[in-house]
Every structure is written in structure tokens, then in C-alpha cells.
Amino acid sequence: MQYVSTRGGGGAESFEGCLLRGLAPDGGLYLPQTWPALAPGQASTPYAERLIDTLSQFGAGAPADLAPLAARALAGFSAPEITPLRQLEPDLYLLELFHGPTAAFKDLAMQAMAQLLESALARRGENLLLLTATSGDTGAAAVRAFAGSRRVQLIALHPKGKVSPMQQRQMTTCTAGNIVNLAVEADFDACQYLVKALLGQMPALDGWRISSVNSINWGRLAGQIPYFQHAAAHLGGAAARFVVPTGNFGDAFSGWAARACGTPMGPILAAVNRNDSLAQTWASGIVLRQKTIPTPSVSMDVQVPSNLERLVFEAAKRNGAPVRAAFEAFAADGRAMLPGDITTRLQSEMQAIAIDNERAAAAMRHAYQAYGEIICPHTAVGLAAARARPHAGPTIVLATAHPGKFADSVKQVIGVAPALTPALEGLDGLPEHSHDCPAEARAVSAWMLRAMGSSDVP
């Protein structure tokens, strides 16, 4: 399986190359040259089997070599089924993606990616500097997955004061020497912009590579495909609608990819919060940079949904030229107009809806009162979207985080504090380690040099 860039430049790349590079050399994102047909399996197919098959079909290696990696990646999950499907009403389900070590769906792909990267680096005798922007959960999952790695140094940039206290503790209480947390005086989009700029510019020192574990990395998206298959198989052939609470459009695109690989799925509805650039693009064809507004669904406070570029490439019938034109214009001017036929195809491939704080809160109260279910603010955006757009047939809403990660904001809405997982409880009172950092490439690059062991740090 070979990979191409959404901007049409450069040669083909292997799965491992995509994993190690993150971003394509022409600034585009990697996608497989063709979509493989994934085995549908059955409701009883073990999650590990799906993960192994998916990674193998996407070119990560032979199933026998991937089996031990998959076992290690899934070892920290507390639910035997890994991603249980919970029925709320005859035609309404929650897909629980929060049973991993940091209680958000990011664990599912991050744990697998850490295993794949470790094994690739060991084989190549290389070291890797990972630079990651986080709105909270990616950083937590990455810190957890890479802590103590001998070949990886991780620098996680989070917007200072804009992640939940629990998310912050999950990152900053880590004592491993290969982890650096930077609290950046900026919002998430600015952190992501810094990471993208540094990945493009900063030369690696000898023996090092520099990459990212943000969802611009194809490995993240590939690792999220199995749970769509798992959920679809549980409905026994009825093609359900999937509602995906989204920010960087990574999880939603993974759903689209699962369907492109033959998974029986109905419509996909991408639900964003008040940070509604994505929904505006769907309505108008305009990609517009806007200021992020803090909301209770902090991990979705994103106005520049990076993975949109992947679906635009598909909607452009895989012609890189208009994609390059649109996203270069966007990078330069903060605004781009997609050609009309591309916008029309985006609308037919997926739906998008923006949910304000009040509607999300109402959905959270409804879940508690009608089903006795306490859901996190992100899942509430998804449930609100499902309620706002009625659908004939089953709907599966992705439950992306455990409510205990956002205990204060959940309690404000339903008046009851959610129970914490034992892992979350254990973080209380531990010392925190992070460094304040201005939103400047120079400041971050100094940390990068230090992580690569340079004595030349300014």
C-alpha cells in the first residue's frame, strides 16, 4: 500500500514513511493510493483482530508481526470489548470510546501508534522528536503512550489555561524524562500552526527525525477505523447513521474512511460546537480562519479543522491541484473559496452541523434524565446533533470521553458530579511539571534542540 499527498506533489510513501513524517513534503496530508476492502467480520470479532487487519491492509506489516503490537496497544483498556456499544433507545446508541488509559478516544489510535513507532525506530536505529499541539486529550494520550520511551522525545504544546484541569493533570503529572509540556500563551489553532510551521522548517539533528502525532498523521486516523467497523457489525447489517463530535475533523474522517473501505455505514454527521468553521464551509464552500471561542467541549475548540483537506481531496476526485490552490490560499489569506462542484460533493459525502452551548447542555440533561447516562460535553454535542437532525433508522453517537475528565462542567449542567475512573482519581494532588512558553517558533525550537540533546541551545 502506497500513500500520496493531498496536494499532488512528491512521490509515493509507505505506511511507515507516513507515520515517521506526519506531513507530506509539499505541505499536504497523506492518504492511501486506494481504499482497501476491510473484512466486515461479525459482532463477535475481537477488537484486536480488527485492529490487526486494518493496520495490515493499510501497509503497516504482516498480521503475525502486528499481533503482539496490537496486544500491547490494547492492554491498558478496562472494557473487555474495548469499545462497547450502549443502547439508549431502540434506534439510538452510544459508542463508548473512553475505556483507555486516559479516558478519551484518542487512546485507541495513540496506543497503537506508539507501538508501531517504537518498533520502526528500533529497526532503523533512529530517534524521534514528536511535536504535538493539543486541545487537551491528544496531549494526555500521547504523554501516556510515549512516557519512558527510549527512542522518542515528546514535546506537547497546550493552550495555557484552556484545557480542563483533569486533562492538564494527565499531561503535567508525568515524571518521565522524555516528556516536555509547554503551556503556550495562545489558543489551540495557534499551537497547531506553530507545530505545522516547525515541522516544515526545523532541521533534525544527526540520528533524529522530527514528526507529529496530531491527527494530521495518517497513523492516527488508521487506528480509529476499527471502532466504526466494530459498531457497524453490532447492528447486524442495518447501515446506521454515525454522529461524530469533531474538532480537527480527524475522527469524522476516520469514519468516512471506514465507509470507503466497505464498512456498512449510513450517513455521517459531523457535529461541531460554536467553533463552527466546518459547518460554515459545508453551507457556503468558504474555508475561513476565525477566532476560537472557549466552550465546555474544549477538545473541539478548533476553527482550522486540518483533516478537512483530506475530504476535499476526495471531493476533488483526488486531483491535488485545486486542493493545493485552496489550502495555500487559506494559509496565506486565512480564506479560500472551494470550487462549487467540490462543495457539492462534500455535502453529499457527509453532513455537518454546529451545536451551541445551550443545546449541548440540554442534550446532557436529557441523557441524564431520560436514560440515567452521564455524558461528557463532547458527547453532548453529538447527542444534540442527533436530536436536531432526526433520522429514520439506527443512529450511533460516538461517546468520545469519560465525563469524569470534565467533572466541573458536567456538574454545572446536571447538578451531579460524575464518578471518576481510578486512574483519574489517582492524579489528585500530584506535582505538575510544565513550562510557560510564548507562541513563538524560536521559543519552541529551543526546546526541540534541547530534547535532541543539542549543546547549542540558545
Ligand X SMILES: *Cc1c(COP(=O)(O)O)cnc(C)c1O
Q: Name the residues that contact ligand X, by CB under 6 A.
A: 104, 106, 137, 215, 245-252, 299-300, 378, 400-401
Minimum Å gap between C-beta 402 and ligand X is: 9
Minimum Å gap between C-beta 360 and ligand X is: 12
Q: What is the DSSP letter of 286?
A: E
- What's the rounded Cα separation, in Å, for the pair 268 and 243? 6
Nearer Cβ to ligand X, position 104 or 437?
Answer: 104
Nearer Cβ to ligand X, position 24 or 360?
Answer: 360
Nearer Cβ to ligand X, position 245 or 394?
Answer: 245
- What's the rounded Cα separation, in Å, for the pair 18 and 222? 11
Nearer Cβ to ligand X, position 83 or 248?
Answer: 248
Nearer Cβ to ligand X, position 119 or 215?
Answer: 215
Q: Using CB atoms within 10 A of its CB, is residue 371 exposed (0-12), middle (13-18) or buried (19+)?
A: middle
CA-CA-CA-CA torsion sign (276, 278, 283, 287):
positive
Minimum Å gap between C-beta 369 and ligand X is: 22
Beta carbons within 8 Å of 173's beta carbon, 6+ residues apart: 427, 430, 431, 432, 433
- What's the rounded Cα separation, in Å, for the pair 298 and 405? 11
Minimum Å gap between C-beta 104 and ligand X is: 4
Which three-class secondary structure state does DSSP give residue 240?
strand
Q: What is the DSSP letter of 403?
A: G
Minimum Å gap between C-beta 74 and ligand X is: 19
Minimum Å gap between C-beta 248 and ligand X is: 3
Other Cβ atoms closer than 10 A to 291 = 8
Query: Residue 262 — left, alpha, or beta (φ > 0 → left; ψ -120 to 50 → alpha)?
Result: left
Nearer Cβ to ligand X, position 119 or 246?
Answer: 246
